[in-house]
Every structure is written in structure tokens, then in C-alpha cells.
Structure 1
């Protein structure tokens, strides 16, 4: 396993960020003939362009001289660019096949995929952190996502060391053919949350929390706003607090209190939350249905 790169980038670059790099454009034309590849390359103007083909598992360079006439020549990409292109193709075909890959990680920094160990990264500084601590926007969530962003270097190196340098190698024109990673992180209390790559800014990957992905140790969805408690006006949701972790109920009750939602009952058990709408607005309430 190669060491983690300080900057892992560029896997979901915005168009503006990509324009800042004087690098060769990359497009994909899967299962295309040479003529079809040139025709597609012409839609991006003149100059050098790389074309990947997942079906043929090839990575080729073309120079488009004149769009109107279609004059073009093929060239061999430099070894470093060719290696990066081949690693992209290998990444796509690695299990599970596709551009999107999912990983699992714990606070100790153990990273796995489909139950198989991938690598180890530095653990989170506060082992007592739970999903409740990082589900809401704020400094704790920012500190957590900043830590998680550093792990993506090791994850990409699992597939190929050059994947972390895509921004400096290619101008990625086809956003449907870009490596994307989500990571489900399990906390020491059993709660969990899913993170995803969002953008890359100035050479730094940005990781964000996937909406509604936070689960407490009882597998309840952690609501992050008033509407989420029931899923919206007229909605109904159930919450069960039956485990030994009493802090789940305490966090939940405090959040509902902050939003002005009354709760009938206390302590462990099953709670039903409903919302209704009248002329005065949306009313949400929760009651204990059973122990």
C-alpha cells in the first residue's frame, strides 16, 4: 500500500476549478469506432484531447486540427498520462464495477470495502464522538469532515497512486465518468453516518454529510431539522429507544425541545411522531406508544 498523498484530488471537480489547470481534456466514448471518437472530440474544438473507451479498455490521444474538415491525428499519450488513464479504467472495473464506490470506516481509521480490509488511516482524535455530534452543521461536523477528507488519499491509492492527481493530469469534461466515493463511518457507540465527496477547491477535497444518513445506535434516523422529524407536513415517523445507550433518547428529546415539539412520555420505548396542518401552520407532536 502506498502512503497517503497530502492532496487527494480532484475527483468531483467543478468546471471552474478544472479550467484553472492547463492540462489535456479527457472524454469518453465507450464502444466507439475511431471515426466516432474523432467526431465526438470535434465537439470540443481543436487541439489535443484524450479519449477513453471502457468497452475496449483503451486510452488514446487525438489532435484535432480543424473542426470543419475533421482533420485529426492519433498520438501516444506520455507514459505518466497513459498510466493514469489505465488506472481510471482499472478503477471502473474493480468490484463493485462502476465509477461510484462505497467504503466503510470506523473511528480507529480502519477502512474496508465489502467486508475486505483496504487500508488504515489516522484515527479520529475524539473516540467518544457519535453521529449526534456531527449530524448538524457546525464546528464539530466541519472538524469531522476535514478529518474524513484526508482518508480519501489512502482510499484512492488502493486503486492506483495516480488517481489522487487527476486534476493535475486531466481536464475532466465528462462528469458521468469520474470516480466518486461515499464512506459510511461507524462510531464506537454503534451510530453511523455517510459522507460523500462534494467538490474540490484549490487542491483540497471537500467531503460533506449525505442528507438523512445519520443513524443513532438504535438505528433511528437522526432528524436534523423540524420537518425531518416526521418527514414533512402530514407525515408520521416512529422512533425506538430500547438499547442500553440512554443518550440517544436524551439527544432526540433535546432536539425536539429546541424545535418546540412536545413529547408525551419519557425514557426508553417506542415513540410515534405525527404532523398536521391547519390555518395556524404545521403542528408536530410525539407520544410514547409502548415501552
Structure 2
């Protein structure tokens, strides 16, 4: 995203609070751009009242390749409008208006004459309340099929099958329900069985690296989770690497560019976790070279000593 043609500029209005935000130019994917938009939208403030927007959520859907803007408020006075570059599909976004949820108060069923309807012990719809009403229970019956129990947990009504029939345009249903085996017991709650399907909380206990370079974290609850993987590199001419000290080497024109791959695969070595690198030279050869150098030094020193002695003898003869 660049600043060309104001590609990174967005006009936002949330619940009557308007503002212009600018996203820093750079490389973004859907999720990171959504996070940047959400952060800056929630910083917009009303210049007169100082009220900050807040509560706006921006989400990116990879399946539809689109952004979704949601306010933190509800109701028909809740609005949001975002306008941005056409490349992001934000050049013609309609104004979003919230909705007020509808609340329904349940009332007791009545007939055409306005008389309250009840269901007797036989499952018949009647206008007179049954004699064995449960005291302190409201409402007693709302509609056909509502279950009522006595104080012992025994089903009072309905006793028989309850039938539901609905005939409307494009809709037809006929349903019979048998509640005869239903019961309700007022006993204290208790857990009968517990089946654990998760793990207890755990703390990081250590980290290990296997031969393929996989880094695994060990936790005190017995879990072992992979965190990442170490890659290794090889060069066409390893002898062309430049040593910069502390067993560290850098790439040179002679060594060629590094070829990165997975440890243990063809052409790449394995990783030895917790090990120190041993000397990578031939000990026997180096020892022979050291002895040879020592003998050469001794021979050179002896030759110098002999030359000095002869020179001193010649000088004494002339004197």
C-alpha cells in the first residue's frame, strides 16, 4: 500500500463521529491491514465533545476476500460508514444501520371469546383450570404442550399425545409428542461422573532440539509441543568462507551463495543439540607439522650459532 492517489487514506463515520485516517505505507495482508484499520478507527474522536469512537472491530474474510466493520453499539441509532480505495472494495460501501432486538412477552392462550385456555389431565383443551394446580407456579399453562409437574415430580399434564398442526402457504406440519415418560425431581444437584478430555495447566519446563532442527517445548503437564524449526545452509565451496572469529564464518564471492535446507535431508548435515563443536582439523597432521616446524627452528638456530662461532674465530685470528 502506497500513498499514491491517497490509497492509504480512509474516510470513516461511526455513530455521527467522522474522521479521516491514514494507514502507514507498506506491505500488508488482509489480517494485518484489518488490524491497522481497527486500531486507527478506534482512535477517532469528536472534535467538540472529545468522545472517542472505540468498540469498532474490523475483520478480514479470506474466503470472500472482503472486510467487515462492526460497531460496539446496537440500536437503530448505531451507524457506520467507511470509504476507501476501490482496490480494496471500499469505494461504494452502503451506510450500515443497527437494529433493535424485538422482545416478546408470553401470555396465556385464550379462545375466541377471550377465555383462558388450560390443558386437563387427559390432554384436552378446556376453559376451566384443573383442580390439581401447583401452587406458586406462574404461569400455570401458556399453551398446549407445556409440561406441569406436581411437588413429587409427577407429570400432571398433558397425559396423552400432544398434536401440533400447521397449514400455511408453503408450510405444512403435523407432529405428535408423547410426554408420558417425563418427570421432574427436586433433588440436590450432584456430579455423577467426570470425563476429562483436556490437560491441566503447565509451565515451560525446558526446550529441546532434535536432529532435524525441530525446537520442542516441554511442559510440566507432560505436553511436548513444536515451536519452530532451525534451517541449515551449505555452500558450493566451504573453504571459501571467511573466518571472522569465534568459529564464525561469513559468505564470500569464492564460497558462493548459501543453499538453505532442512537438517538431515540430502546434502545437509544433522543438528546435535547441547553439543560443543570439536576441532575440525586433522590432529595427526597438525602434530607432525608442529614437530617439523620445531625441528626446522632448531636447525636454523644451530646454523646461526655455528655461523656466529666461525665469525668470532675469524675475527680473533685477524686480531
**Does the pair score TM above 0.5?**
no
Higher relative contact order (CA 8 A, sep 6+): 1
Q: Normalising TM by the smaller chain, what interval?
A: under 0.3
Judging by fraction of residues, say which structure has more strand.
1
Judging by fraction of residues, say which structure has more helix.
1
Taking structure 2 as the reference length, what is the TM-score of the superposition? 0.19
Taking structure 1 as the reference length, what is the TM-score of the superposition? 0.20
Please say which structure displays the higher CA radius of gyration: 2
